[in-house]
Structure 1
C-alpha cells in the first residue's frame, strides 16, 4: 500500500466517525454510575468469589460422587441383565466423572489462586512499606547532615 493510499483511507475513516472503537471507558455522556475507567475489585469481592468457589467444590464433590455411584450401579445392573443400555450408561458415568473432575479442578484453581494472590499482595505491600520507610530514614539522615 502506497503512502498516499494510506492517507486517503485515514481521511475517509475520519469522515465516517460513526464506527470507531472505544476502550476502557463509557461513551461520552453515558456515565455508568459513580465510577468510570478501570475495573476494580476489592478484597471483600475477591473473598466472596473464593468462598463461592470453595463451597461449590465441597458441595459438588459430594453430589457428583453420589450421581456417579448411582449411575455406575444402574449401568452394572442393566449390563448384568443383558441390556445394551447398560454399556451406554456406563459410558455416560465415565464422562460424568471426567467432566466433574474438570469442574472441581477449576473451582480449586480459582480458590487457590485467590488465596495465593491475597498472600502475594500482602507480601508485596510489606516489602514496599519497608522500602519506602528505608528511603525516608535515608532522607532523614541526609537532612540531618545538612543541618536541617
Structure 2
C-alpha cells in the first residue's frame, strides 16, 4: 500500500466516523474505558452459551462431517486398484479432509473447555476478592483513628492504666 493510498483511506474513515477515529493516542475526552463502547463485561451465561455451542459443534462435526469419509476412502482404493490416477488424488483429498476435520474439532473442544475453565476461574476470583475485601473491612474497623478522635485508644482493648495498677 502506498503512502498516498494510506492517507486517502484515513481521510475516508475519519469522514465516516469522526468520533471513533483514533490513531496511536488517547481520545481528548480523557481516556478510554467509558466511551461509546464501554468496558468489557462478560456474564457466566455468555460464557456458558459459547461453551455449549462449541461442544454442540464438536459433536455435530463428528456425526455429520465424517459421512463421506469412509465411502471416499473406499472409492479411492477401488480406483487405485483399477489403475486410475484419480484414486491417489481422491485418497489425498479424503486424508486432508480428515486432518482438517480433526483440527476443527480440536479447536471446538479447546473453546468449550476454555469457557468452562474461565467460568470457574472467574468464580474463584470473585470469591477470593470478596473475602479479601471483607477482611480489609474487619481490619479497618480495628484502627484507633476509626473509632474515635485520632490519638485516642480504642476502648475494645481496655484501659491500659488499670492493667498497670494491677501489676504493682
Task: Compute the TM-score of the two structures, normalised by the length of structure 1.
Answer: 0.70
Alignment RMSD (CA, Å): 2.5
Structure 1 residue 84, shift from structure 2 partner:
1.5
**Contact 2:72 2:90 (C-alpha < 8 Å) held by counterparts:** yes
Higher gyration radius (CA): 2
Aligned position for 1:42: 43
How many equivalent pairs are there?
121
Q: What is the deviation of 1:39?
A: 4.3
Higher helix share: 1
Q: 1:94 to 1:45 in 2, by over 3 A?
A: same
Alignment correspondent of 2:154: 146
Q: Secondary structure at the match of 2:142?
A: helix
Matches within 5 A, 1:118-129: 118-129=119-130
Deviations 1:108-129 (A, max 9, x none): 1111111111011011111111
Give ranges in structure 2 of 5+ residues lacking alignment.
1-10, 24-35, 148-152, 157-168
Q: Which runs of 5+ in 1 are unaligned?
A: 1-15, 24-34
SS in 1 for 2:74: helix
1:56 — aligned with what? 57
